[in-house]
Amino acid sequence: EDQVTQSPEALRLQEGESSSLNCSYTVSGLRGLFWYRQDPGKGPEFLFTLYSAGEEKEKERLKATLTKKESFLHITAPKPEDSATYLCAGVSGNTPLVFGKGTRLSVIA
């Protein structure tokens, strides 16, 4: 059974304190690994797609990386506006997306 597991469930950082979020997956024949950001009361907002091990994508203070078993979302020098829930999802071929439960990030000024 395809699964995506995210850790930690919640993370509290001081402004400027860099850290990483983890997404481990067991999705056979992975075609894409996605990261989303979700703010309260809103739908998930697409951030990155990673297709193959070794690939990296960056956007502002965020960098996503992919290995054969997991993905990391690195947050460098976070700001309070980076506070949100970050979701990871995998897709294989024509099967539905499989989501993790998310990491709730709080960045304190």
- C-beta closer to another protein: residue 14 or 93: 93
Contact residues toward another protein (CB under 8 A) are 31-32, 34, 36, 41-46, 49, 51, 87, 89, 91, 94, 96-97, 99-102
Per the DSSP assignment, residues forming a β-bridge with 85 are 38, 104
Residue 48, Cβ density class (10 Å: 0-12 exposed, 13-18 middle, ≥19 buried): buried
- C-beta closer to another protein: residue 18 or 67: 67
Q: How far is the CB of 46 from another protein (least distance, A)?
A: 5
Per the DSSP assignment, residues forming a β-bridge with 90 are 33, 98
